Amino acid sequence: MIAAAAILFIYSQSAPASGPASNLASVEIEARAPDNAVKFGAPFPLEIVRTWDERDPAPPWRDSALAPLVVTARDVKQSAANHKITETRSFEARAFARDELNIPELHLHVKIASALDDPAGAVEEPPGPLPAPFPWRTIIIISAIAAAAAALGYYIYTILKKRAAMVPAAPAAPRIPAPDRALARLAQLRKMQLFDDESVQRFYVEASSIVREYLEEQLGVRAPEMTTEEFLTAPQTSRLLQSQHRALLSDYLMHCDLVKFARQSSSAAERDRLIGCAERLVQETRQANFSSAEAAVASETAAASIVETDSARVAAGTGGAR
């Protein structure tokens, strides 16, 4: 089937409406349409402007006067000047015809010209040869070969895995003591570049974490799970740390909390002094000698203290800052 299309060339002319059995003798009608070409069946704007004497009312307008155009009313406006009433009706119009279309009453003419490149009556070229049938047999053979290759690969993989399991594993590297790891982290923290408030916050979060994690591993105190106040007042802290170390730790953690949670400002000298306090605490407690039984008791006591404190928080509906 050959598809058909057309381009409409529209022009309008102002003239009084006339025709047999018409009551529009005193009404002037002007049809306004775009000068540029519009496509066949495509919407284009159309305006009908009627003017009459205000003492001689115009009869009602009927959209059927625009037939055979297919129109959709969009807007109606009226204005008065010099005893004249001007009514402007806006439409969205479409034309469906192959020959010239005329509306004599409006002096509106629509000319339709073919927009096809091929001459009228041209026949489409027949399609080429039909495609070959789908090669199901080839697909089945290829799938079978791929499945066999996958099975062989899996078999080889299992053999190599068993052989690897027979090879003795290399001895694990010795674990770095907790004090040495804490001191290394503090050295890295001292080199940290601080550009804004967010980087300062990260500095103090890391400073607090280093000391808390060190105390948990070195002394068996579950410091990361406690608030600063809980940790400093816990019985196991009093038992495992000397008074000067508890005072040093209190100043250290309180300063971290003020910057982390109260947004207190800090200077480079204060941060350097803070790291020095942490290094001193690690150096002076690295030789702490606790028996395994004492460390276990400390850990169990810390866990019980945390459970009791968390239960009290749930009942009160509040929580501490860590």
Backbone angles phi, psi at 317, to 5 degrees: 75, 20
pLDDT at residue 14 in the model = 39
* Whole-angstrom distance, CA of residue 204 vs CA of residue 264: 11
- Give the range among 28-32, 122-126, 242-246 with minimum mean pLDDT: 122-126
d(CA 316, CA 207): 30
For residues 130-153, average pLDDT:
88
pLDDT at 149 over 90: yes
Q: Are the beta carbons of 31 and 44 closer than 8 angstroms? A: no
Return the axis-axis angle of helices 243-261 and 197-219, rounded to nearest 10°.
150
Question: In the predicted model, is pLDDT for residue 8 greater than 80?
Answer: no
Cα–Cα distance for residue pair 220/289, rounded to 1 Å: 12
Tell me the C-alpha distance between 117 and 254, whole Å: 86
Of 37, 35, 108, 114, nearest to 69 by C-alpha is 108
Using alpha carbons, select from 309, 283, 288 the residue that is nearest to residue 222: 309
The domain locations on the chain are 7-17+25-114, 178-316
pLDDT at 261 over 70: yes
**Paired sense of beta strands 38-39 and 84-94, if any:** unpaired
Whether 76 shows a pLDDT value over 70: the answer reads: yes
Number of DSSP helices (H) and strands (E) in the chain, helices first:
8, 9
- Is the pLDDT at 34 greater than 70? The verdict is yes
SS3 content of the chain, % helix, strand, coil (to 5): 45, 20, 35
pLDDT at position 126 is 62
Most confident of 122-131, 217-226, 270-279: 270-279
Are 29 and 12 in contact, with CB atoms under 8 Å apart?
no
pLDDT of 194: 82
Q: Which amino acid is at 119?
A: P
Q: Where residue 22 falls among pLDDT bands split at 50, 70, 90?
A: very low
Instruction: Please answer whether residues 236 and 290 qualify as being in contact, where contact means their C-beta atoms are separated by less than 8 angstroms.
Output: no
Q: Give Cα 220 to chain centroid, integer Å.
A: 45
In 3-state terms, what secondary structure has residue 283? helix
Q: In sequence order, what are the beta bridge partners of 86?
A: 51, 79
C-alpha 54/C-alpha 205 separation (Å) is 85
**72-86, 99-113, 157-171: segment of lowest average pLDDT:** 99-113
